C-alpha cells in the first residue's frame, strides 16, 4: 500500500510527460563478482575488453566507485533502491533459494520510478532478491515483475546453486507464479543452459531495444558472469590469453558491443544513458594452491581482498562508468561515488520525484557527470558505509579517510590487523591503496567523529525501521 501511494504521488507531482532527448533511455550493465582489475581499461595486461574500454574512455570513468556490500543480494538491493542494505529487512547479504525473505513490495526500485513516468522496463539476467518457495507461499512478489519490470529473462539466484533456474516472464498474473515460465533448472549440471546465459541475455536485450526504440525504455542487464563457475560459449572458448576468465570477459565485452551497436543502428545512441558496474569484487576464496578453480578467479588489484570480506577495498571497489554521447564528456573522475547514487541521479535526469517517505542514501551526482545535466556545481559530500554479512556496518568512509570497526575475509586472514568499535583502524585510502598504515593514533579526533557518524547511522536506521 505504501509503495502504491508513493507511485501515485510520483504521477501527481510530475508535469505532463513527453518523450524527448531530455528523457533518455537507460541501460545498466551489472556484472557478477567482477573485480576492479578484470578490465583492460584498468590495466589488466591479458584481458581484452575494447567495448567496455570505449565506454570508459568516452564517458565518465570513476576511479573510486563503490558497492554497499561485498556480496550479491544486498548489493543488488542497494543498486535498485538507492538505500543501504541494513534498511532492507532481509537480514543477510545473500538470499538462498529457500529464504522466506525478498525485497519488500513497498520498496521503490529504479524500474518502478522510471515506469511511473512512462518508461518500458525489462530485466535480463540474475535477480537474487527473492525466490518463490514454500516459506513464502510461492509468492510472485519475490520476482522482478512485482518490482517494476515489464519483462524478465534470467536466473532466480546465482547459477552455481544446485536448484538455480532460468526463468522467463512477460506478464504478471493473479496466480502466484503465473507469467513465469521455466526454461532450465539445476544450472550447475546443465552446461548447455549455463553456457548460453550471456548470449541469451544479449539477444533478448537487443530485441527489446529494437521493439522499444521509439519510446523511452530501461534495460537492466545483470550478467551472471564472471561468477564461478565460469561459462563461455563456443565462439569465445580458448580465444583469450587469460584462459577461461579472459574468454568469459571477452563474451561480456561482446555483449556490451552488441548492445551499443544496436543503439547506433537504431539511431538512439545519443539519447541513451549507459551505466556499467559490478556487484562486488572477485571470489578470492578459491584462489588457493592446488585448487582447480585457482586460475578462474579475477583481480581486485591494487586493493586488498575481494568478495565476502567485511570492509577491505577489494570487495567494494568496482568499475563505475557513465556513458551518454553528447551529454557526458570524457572524464577520468577521481571524486568517489557509489551504486547508491545511481537511483537519485537517474530520477533527477528522467523526471522522477525522489521518494520523501523513506531515507534515500545515495546522492544526486549529476555535477560529477556533466555541466549539461545540472546547473548546480556542488555535490553532497561523500560519506559511505561499508556493510557486512548481516548488513551491519563494518566501516565508514568520509573524504579520503576510512575507519574499520569490523574485519572479515574469506581468505581466513586479515593481514595481521584487528578492528572493533573500541579499537578501530583508520586508513587514508587515497594514498594508502593497500590499507597498510593505520593512522588511528595520530588522528584521534577524526576517529571519534567517524565513530559518532556510525552511531548516528545505526540509530537512524533503527528508528526508521524497515518495511
Question: DSSP assignment of 226-280, as one string?
Answer: TSSSP---TTTTT-STTHHHHHHHHHHHHHHHHHHHHHHHTT-GGGEEEEEEESS
4 given a catalytic annotation: no
DSSP H helices, 285-443, are: 313-316, 342-350, 366-369
Q: Give every strand in the sheet of 272-278, ordered side by side.
A: 180-185, 165-169, 151-155, 120-125, 217-222, 25-31, 272-278, 320-323, 60-62, 331-333
Q: Is 439 among the residues known to form the active site?
A: no
- The values of phi and psi at residue 351, to 5°, are 80, 30
Beta bridge partners of 365: none
Cell of 51: 567495448
Angle between helix 342-350 and 72-81 (nearest 10):
30
The continuous run of DSSP H or E covering 428 comes out as: strand 425-428
Q: Please, are residues 303 and 386 in contact by the beta-carbon 8 Å criterion?
A: no
Beta strands in 260-405 (DSSP E): 272-278, 320-323, 331-333, 337-338, 383-387, 393-398, 401-404
Q: Where are the beta strands (DSSP E) in 106-227?
A: 120-125, 151-155, 165-169, 180-185, 217-222
Q: Which of 72, 147, 159, 350 is catalytic?
A: 72
Closest listed residue to residue 35, CA positions, set 236, 225, 188:
225
Q: Which of 61, 128, 147, 227 is catalytic?
A: 128
Which has the closest alpha carbon to 315: 96, 74, 153? 74
SS3 31: strand
Catalytic positions are 72, 128
Amino acid at each position: 500500500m505504501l509503495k502504491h501511494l508513493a507511485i501515485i504521488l510520483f504521477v501527481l507531482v510530475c508535469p505532463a510527460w513527453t518523450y524527448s532527448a531530455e528523457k533518455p533511455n537507460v541501460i545498466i550493465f551489472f556484472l557478477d563478482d567482477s573485480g576492479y582489475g578484470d578490465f583492460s581499461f584498468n590495466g589488466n595486461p591479458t584481458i581484452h575488453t575494447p567495448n567496455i574500454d570505449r565506454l570508459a574512455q568516452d564517458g565518465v570513468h570513476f576511479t573510486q566507485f563503490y558497492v554497499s556490500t561485498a556480496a550479491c543480494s544486498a548489493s543488488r538491493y542497494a543498486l535498485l533502491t538507492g538505500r543501504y542494505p541494513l534498511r532492507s529487512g532481509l537480514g543477510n547479504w545473500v538470499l538462498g533459494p529457500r529464504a522466506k525473505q525478498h525485497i519488500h513490495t513497498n520498496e521503490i526500485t529504479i524500474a518502478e520510478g522510471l515506469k511511473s513516468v512512462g518508461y518500458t522496463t525489462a530485466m535480463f539476467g540474475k535477480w537474487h532478491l527473492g525466490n518463490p518457495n514454500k516459506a513464502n507461499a510461492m509468492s510472485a512478489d519475490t520476482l522482478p515483475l512485482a518490482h517494476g519490470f515489464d519483462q524478465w529473462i534470467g536466473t532466480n539466484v546465482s547459477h552455481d546453486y544446485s536448484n538455480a533456474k532460468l526463468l522467463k516472464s512477460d506478464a504478471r498474473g493473479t496466480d502466484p507464479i503465473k507469467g513465469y515460465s521455466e526454461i532450465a533448472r539445476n544450472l550447475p549440471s546443465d552446461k548447455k543452459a549455463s553456457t548460453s546465459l550471456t548470449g541469451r541475455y544479449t539477444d533478448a536485450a537487443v530485441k527489446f531495444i529494437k521493439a522499444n526504440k521509439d519510446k523511452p525504455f530501461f534495460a537492466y542487464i545483470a550478467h551472471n558472469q564472471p561468477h564461478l563457475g565460469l561459462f563461455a560459449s563456443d565462439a569465445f572458448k580458448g580465444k583469450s590469453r587469460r584462459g577461461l576468465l579472459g574468454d568469459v570477459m571477452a563474451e561480456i565485452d561482446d555483449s556490451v558491443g552488441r548492445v551499443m551497436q544496436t543503439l547506433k543502428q537504431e539511431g538512439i545512441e545519443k539519447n541513451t544513458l549507459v551505466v556499467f558496474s559490478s556487484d562486488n569484487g572477485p571470489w578470492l576464496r578459491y584462489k588457493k594452491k592446488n585448487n582447480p578453480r585457482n586460475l578462474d578467479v579475477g583481480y581486485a588489484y591494487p586493493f586488498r581482498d575481494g568478495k565476502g570480506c567485511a570492509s577491505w577495498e577489494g570487495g567494494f571497489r568496482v568499475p563505475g562508468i557513465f556513458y551518454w554521447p553528447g551529454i557526458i564528456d570524457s572524464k577520468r573522475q577521481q571524486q568517489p561515488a557509489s551504486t547508491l547514487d545511481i537511483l537519485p541521479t537517474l530520477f533527477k535526469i528522467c523526471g522522477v520525484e525522489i521518494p520523501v517517505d523513506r531515507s534515500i542514501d545515495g546522492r544526486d551526482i549529476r555535477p560529477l557527470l556533466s555541466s549539461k545535466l545540472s546547473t548546480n556545481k556542488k555535490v553532497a559530500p561523500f560519506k559511505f558505509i561499508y556493510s557486512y554479512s548481516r548488513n551491519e556496518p563494518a566501516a565508514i568512509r568520509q573524504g579520503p579517510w576510512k575507519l574499520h570497526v569490523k574485519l572479515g575475509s574469506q581468505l581466513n586472514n586479515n593481514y595481521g590487523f584487528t578492528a572493533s568499535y573500541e579499537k578501530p583502524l583508520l586508513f587514508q585510502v587515497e594514498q594508502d591503496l593497500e590499507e597498510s598504515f593505520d593512522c588511528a593514533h595520530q588522528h584521534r579526533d577524526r576517529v571519534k567523529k567517524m565513530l559518532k557518524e556510525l552511531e548516528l547511522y545505526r540509530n537512524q536506521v533503527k528508528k526508521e525501521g524497515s518495511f
